[in-house]
Structure 1
Amino acid sequence: MSRSALPLRVIAAISECAGRAAAAAAALLVLLVFGLVLARYGFGLGSVAAQEAVLWLHAAIFLLGLGFAYRHDRHVRVDVFSARWSPRARARAELAGIVLLLLPMCVFAIWISSDYVAASWAAREGSRDPGGLPAWYLLKALIPLSAGLLALQGLARAADAARRAFAGESPGT
């Protein structure tokens, strides 16, 4: 393995790990919702903490799955114009989109959420509802983390798009 490929493999491994965590959260979410429905309609029982855990799991699935979905091309893509373009032109458009849109959006998400997350951590924020889950600051920390994971995967995709966009071209052409 070349030295230049190592960072891309590390990013891929991180995205895969986050994706597996999101998949585990999805399985837990299904089981929890099934248990909540059974408890509610079968036994007349309810739990604020369990209902909040559904919110936590749903958020974790979404936030941890962003980079994974992008890595595996499972995101929304509108190819109305680019379907007719050459592979090199599509790669250049992808590179431009990553550099001009995706990465700045990720940096903005990290920047805009940092005070929000820091305040939550400082207060050791928990649920406002009696019987709710403590440590909401842990869930809120996933916001900048997910933007960072998405940015990492964007960098890996940008490297691949640059390779495809400029393959075989000499400098200055």
Structure 2
Amino acid sequence: MRSLLALSRSIDALSRLVGKAVGWVILVVVVISATNAVSRKAFDMSSNAWLELQWYLFGAIFLLAAGYTLLNNEHVRVDVLASKLSERAQIKIEIFGVLFFLLPVCCLVLWMAIPMFIDSYVSGEVSSNSGGLIRWPVKLLVPVGFALLILAAVSHLIKCIGFLAGACPNPTVKLHARTAEEQLAEEIARQAALQAEENTKKGP
């Protein structure tokens, strides 16, 4: 179990590294989107290459961050019934879902995506749009993204088994239980309390 958990930690480190890199990609997409919009509206200039680059990067964000999202338990779960069960029962359902749904689907998509990428690369496929980009880099994102998701699923599976064996904490519990809205509300309340305290000290 120790060696498996060590493997899980290595996969999680990779997922975090990719997740942080994708965060910078989001910034790049925002800059490109804003530049495209300004040049089109203000100067009546547009480029299919920049528009397609924007689409490529959007695809990279969703595909490459899937494993990081699973690591942080941010994927949507329909657990109306499972939430009423014990932790161990929930983890067993999680293991079943990973083994019989998540991993098979990801492996199937990966198996189908690799030939698609190879064909695009070998043929030198280019966008049909005037001034468009080559296609194989964006098609490469599909197998890479699903490979990262498979690794994250394996890591998650190891941690679920480790929890049942008493070797690690429950991997389905979010590290940050509070939502962004709850954190914002707490910060507003804290600032209001500080302001009220200052007003009290100043007196009438």
Scaled by the length of structure 1, the TM-score of the pair is 0.90
Q: Counterpart of 2:157?
A: 158
Distance in 1, Cα, partners of 2:67 & 2:114:
19
**Does the 8 Å CA contact 2:36/2:46 hold for their aligned counterparts?**
yes
Q: Counterpart of 1:100?
A: 100
Q: Counterpart of 2:56?
A: 56
- Spell out, residue by residue over 1:91-136, the C-alpha distance to the aligned partner (whole angstroms, 9 max, x if none): 10001100111110111011111221110111122222221123x2
Say yes or no: does 1:88 pair with 2:88: yes
Q: Counterpart of 2:17?
A: 17
**Does the 8 Å CA contact 1:21/1:64 hold for their aligned counterparts?**
no
**Does the 8 Å CA contact 2:5/2:158 hold for their aligned counterparts?**
no
Matches for 1:137-156 after TM superposition, within 5 Å? 137-156=136-155
CA offset at residue 166 of structure 1? 4.1
**Does the 8 Å CA contact 2:113/2:142 hold for their aligned counterparts?**
yes
Secondary structure at 1:141 match in 2: helix
Distance in 1, Cα, partners of 2:53 & 2:140:
16
Secondary structure at 2:116 match in 1: helix
Secondary structure at 1:131 match in 2: coil
Q: Counterpart of 2:114?
A: 114
Task: Give the % identical residues.
Answer: 28
Q: Which runs of 5+ in 1 are unaligned?
A: 169-173
**Count of equivalent residues:** 166
RMSD value over aligned CA atoms? 1.4
Scaled by the length of structure 2, the TM-score of the pair is 0.77
Q: Counterpart of 2:36?
A: 36
Distance in 1, Cα, partners of 2:36 & 2:137:
23
* Bigger Rg, structure 1 or 2: 2
Distance in 1, Cα, partners of 2:96 & 2:3:
25
**Does the 8 Å CA contact 1:88/1:166 hold for their aligned counterparts?**
no
- Spell out, residue by residue over 1:18-63, the C-alpha distance to the aligned partner (whole angstroms, 9 max, x if none): 2122212111111111111110111111111111011101100011
**Does the 8 Å CA contact 2:64/2:145 hold for their aligned counterparts?**
yes
